[in-house]
Structures are given as C-alpha cells and as structure tokens.
Structure 1
Amino acid sequence: MDEIEIRDDSIRLGQFLKLASLIETGADAKIVIGDGLVSVNGEVETRRGRQLTAGDVVEIGGISVRLATP
C-alpha cells in the first residue's frame, strides 16, 4: 500500500484523490465519489468534503492509499 504525505493536519477527500493521482480533476472526484466508488477505512464514502487525517486509508478501483504526515 502506498502512502501519500500531506503537509497539513487534514485534507478533503476530493483534494486527496487528486493529490494521490487517483483521479485527474475535481469533476472526476465528484463523479466517482457520488457513484459510491470510493471507500475510506473500508466504508463507502459519498461526501467529497469528508476530512481525512493521517492513518486514513482511501480505496478506489482496487488501489489503496494511506495518508501520512511528515
């Protein structure tokens, strides 16, 4: 599982998907999250603005990425 570092204490789900290169645009984030294709810590998440913190695991399309802080 890959880890992506964020510089702040938290990040919104839509922003994280772009940062981790799991999607290309905010419009893509809206679609995949709205369609229930993204899970956070094993549970489907449909809120693009969900705040993520270090240790959270985001999964989309069989790819899992863990948030880390420096």
Structure 2
Amino acid sequence: MKIKDQFITLGQALKEVAVIDSGGQAKWFLAEIPVWVNDEEENRRGRKLYPGDQVTIQDHGTFMITRDDR
C-alpha cells in the first residue's frame, strides 16, 4: 500500500485496502478480527502506520506500507 502523507492510520488503511467500507467500521473490525502491525497484535484504529510497517490481517493477508514519492 502506497501513501503520500507521512503516515496513515490503521483505520484509514483498512478502508483503503477494502477490508471495511467506512471508517466507522474500524473499531468493530479491530475488536473482532486479529490484526498485527510489525508482528504485534494491534486493535487501535488510530495507530499510525509509517513506510516500512507491515500489516497482517487474519483471512485477508499481509501488506507493506510504502511511500508514494510521485
């Protein structure tokens, strides 16, 4: 996943990769589905993700945060 800003929140990232339809679903999703950031379980939708962070979502796969320098 490429980002243009310095960081993206976990809730925004879940929406961006189409795991959830709206930001309002992030809190529920994170309470029900295991998500790991850099191999540590994470349930805060406001967790800031930076280039180089790896996100793993149970039953959805793994993606890496990268910087879009365009």
Does TM, normalized by the shorter one, top 0.5?
A: yes
Are 2:28 and 1:61 equivalent residues in the alignment?
A: no
Structure 2 residue runs of 5 or longer lacking an equivalent are: none
Are 2:41 and 1:44 equivalent residues in the alignment?
A: yes
CA contact (8 A) 1:35 1:46 kept: no
Distance 2:23 2:34 in 1: 15
Structure 1 residue runs of 5 or longer lacking an equivalent are: none
Distance 2:62 2:19 in 1: 10
TM-score (norm 2): 0.83
| Count of residue pairs the alignment pairs up | 67
Aligned to 2:19: 22
Equivalent pairs: percent with the same residue?
39
Distance 1:23 1:61 in 2: 13
Offset, 1:36: 5.2
Offset, 1:52: 0.5
